[in-house]
Amino acid sequence: MNSRSLSFRLVTWYAGLLTVVFVLLGALTLLLLRNYLEANLLDIQARRARQIADTLLAAVPRTGEGALARQVEELYSPEANDRLIRITRGDGHVVYASQRPKDNNFDPGQVPLPSLSRSGEFSRKELLPGGALLVAALPYTPAGGSEHYLVEVGVSNSPTEATLRQVLLMMAIGLPVALGVAVMGGFVLVRRALRPVEQLGRKAEEITQHNLSERLPVVQTGDELERLSISLNHMISRLEGSIESSKQFVADASHELRTPLTVLRGELEALAQDGQLRSQTRESLGSMLEEVDRLTEVVEGLLALSRLDAGESRAHWVRFDLAELAASTADQMSLLAEDKSIRVVCEAAADVIVEGDQARMKQVVVNLLDNAIKYTPNGGKVRLKITREGPNALLEIADEGIGIPQQALPHVFKRFYRVDGSRSREQGGAGLGLSIVESICSAHGARVEVTSTPGKGSRFRIIQSLANNTTVHAHS
């Protein structure tokens, strides 16, 4: 998957944010849970301490400290209940301290004595080698007694820790699962939301200058995408308008040039045919006529292109054998090649049936062959090959000319493009031949490609789909 695609980025961000939120939420939950559990435990211990103080210590002034240990053991049996109970007198003497609990979670001897001068209940957490111990402490002075005591009741914190570990484990398993589900759901949603964008993109890709009258489908979602598709359509309309007017301009300008050119040519021709002229005058008239010819050629070429751009009707479309057409055209032009002692090697497969305007396709062959012959030096060779390749007809014309520099290749089909002004000028031509070839090909749904090795020659390839055998052509 493309890591720069919108859906990928959206889902990544979404997953990232979700992870952060989950982790924060989990941490907060653990923290609150721990505080609650510990506070709860301490609360129980504090109540027990109060109980001990109220029932046992309160009696000390009467019964003395001697019975205290036994009474605690009897009533609370701290070892069996995994508790720490310690009663310390104000002078630091430990009146009673429970033994190691049965589960051996802590060693009461290692629990340090807190400050005995504090008044009021307090609690603390002792970190011992066997785990944390939560201790609630209650300073107490029995009524009528002179001694001051500190009652401590503690319990191991490990059950809390175990619970928290359990919760953490649940989160560690649950969070990725939840995240996975959320990401997948998000991905599906994003994909669905972006599907119209893909459709728009695909359709926009199909629109070229030849079918600018088409429009993008308006996605009726009522959201930003709908507005986007409408805006894009407006843009295409404006583009169509401006391209239309520039085409119209070329067509109009060419038309307007035709009449003056006719007059110019007529006057010059009439003059040139006067037998009484001095040869110098005759020469300059001839030169002028040649320039008129060139202008005419440019105007005609531009008009032909603007007609092709406008999309000619397919009224003249027929099925024909491209190989036969190319071979016979090559034959008609053979004298041109012979004139330069160029050998035209024609290799034509049988039955390369395509559909199109024969005269136009012939023009393509003529233009390409003419170029090939023009640029191949005397005594060279021009290869013409027509084959079938899968569903396509392939027409290939290769010359042994000077070739086209790599950086010029993408431009050779542009109007008036000249690889090298001086060279092309002297070879003549209006600079529109290859543009016309390309326009005709694209009107036929064919592709034209060029490859070239400077110094060795160029090769033009035309790839047109073969006529479908089963359908009798039904073009409007």
Partner 1 sequence: MRILLVEDEKKLSELITRTLQSESYAVDAALDGQSGWEMAESYEYDLIILDLMLPNLSGTEILRRVRRRNQAVPILVLTARDATVEKVKHFEAGADDYVTKPFAFAELVMRVKALLRRGPVSRATVLRVADLEMDRLSQQVKRSGRRIELTPKEFALLEYLATSPGRVFSRTMIIEHVWDQSFEGLNNIVDVYVRHLRRKVDDPFPTKLIRTVRGVGYGLGENAEA
Residue choice 34, 148, 247, 258 for contact with partner 1 (CB under 8 A)? 258
Residue choice 84, 133, 292, 412 for contact with partner 1 (CB under 8 A)? 292
Region of 33-41, 204-212, 235-243, 325-333 interacting with partner 1 (CB under 8 A): 325-333
Minimal distance, residue 285 CB to partner 1, in Å: 6
Q: Is 393 left (phi over 0), alpha (psi -120 to 50) or beta?
A: beta
- Residue 457 bridge partners (DSSP): 453
- The 208-227 site mask, x for binding partner 1 (CB under 8 A), equals --------------------
Q: CB-hemisphere CA count at 13 Å for 439?
A: 23
Is residue 329 close enough to count as binding partner 1 by CB under 8 A? yes
The two structure tokens encoding residue 280:
């110098």
Which positions from 370 through 389 interact with partner 1, judged by CB under 8 A?
Answer: 370
Region of 76-84, 86-94, 196-204, 279-287 interacting with partner 1 (CB under 8 A): 279-287
For 349, which DSSP code? -
Is residue 301 close enough to count as binding partner 1 by CB under 8 A? yes
Is residue 299 close enough to count as binding partner 1 by CB under 8 A? yes
Residue choice 428, 445, 454, 473 for contact with partner 1 (CB under 8 A)? 428
Taking the least distance from each CB to partner 1, the nearer of 103 and 283 is 283
The two structure tokens encoding residue 48:
């027990």
444 and 361 Cβ atoms separated by less than 8 Å: yes
Residue choice 99, 262, 341, 453 for contact with partner 1 (CB under 8 A)? 262
Is residue 253 close enough to count as binding partner 1 by CB under 8 A? no
Residue choice 363, 387, 424, 442 for contact with partner 1 (CB under 8 A)? 363
Minimal distance, residue 292 CB to partner 1, in Å: 8
Residue choice 307, 388, 415, 461 for contact with partner 1 (CB under 8 A)? 307
Taking the least distance from each CB to partner 1, the nearer of 116 and 336 is 336
Minimal distance, residue 244 CB to partner 1, in Å: 16
Helix 6-55 crosses helix 158-206 at what angle (to 10 degrees)? 170
Region of 169-177, 259-267, 389-397, 459-467 interacting with partner 1 (CB under 8 A): 259-267
Q: For residue 219, what are the contacts with CB-CB under 8 A and spacing of at least 6? A: 196, 199, 200, 225, 226, 229
User: How far is the C-alpha of 18 from the C-alpha of 187, rounded, in Å?
Assistant: 14
Residue choice 10, 30, 336, 409 for contact with partner 1 (CB under 8 A)? 336
Taking the least distance from each CB to partner 1, the nearer of 230 and 336 is 336
Q: How many residues of this chain bind partner 1 (CB under 8 A)?
A: 52
Region of 44-52, 143-151, 231-239, 292-300 interacting with partner 1 (CB under 8 A): 292-300
Helix 358-375 crosses helix 322-332 at what angle (to 10 degrees)? 50
User: How far is the C-alpha of 244 from the C-alpha of 370, rounded, in Å?
Assistant: 32
Residue choice 103, 214, 283, 389 for contact with partner 1 (CB under 8 A)? 283
Residue choice 30, 58, 272, 419 for contact with partner 1 (CB under 8 A)? 272
Residue choice 273, 281, 453, 468 for contact with partner 1 (CB under 8 A)? 273
108 and 79 Cβ atoms separated by less than 8 Å: no
Which positions from 429 through 448 interact with partner 1, judged by CB under 8 A?
Answer: 429-430, 433
For 410, which DSSP code? G
First to last CA, the chain: 42
Indicate the helix (H) or strand (E) that contains 41.
helix 6-55
Report the b/e string of 86-113 with b at 16+ CB within 10 A. Answer: bbbeeeeeebbbbeebeeebbebeebee
Of the candidates 340, 329, 331, which has an alpha carbon nearest to the alpha carbon of residue 401? 340
Tell me the helix, strand and coil percentages in the chain, rounded to 5: 55, 20, 30
User: How far is the C-alpha of 9 from the C-alpha of 190, rounded, in Å?
Assistant: 10
Binding site for partner 1 (CB under 8 A): 255-256, 258-259, 261-263, 265-270, 272-273, 282-283, 285-290, 292-293, 296-297, 299-301, 303, 307, 312-313, 315-316, 329, 332-333, 335-336, 339, 359-360, 362-363, 366, 370, 428-430, 433
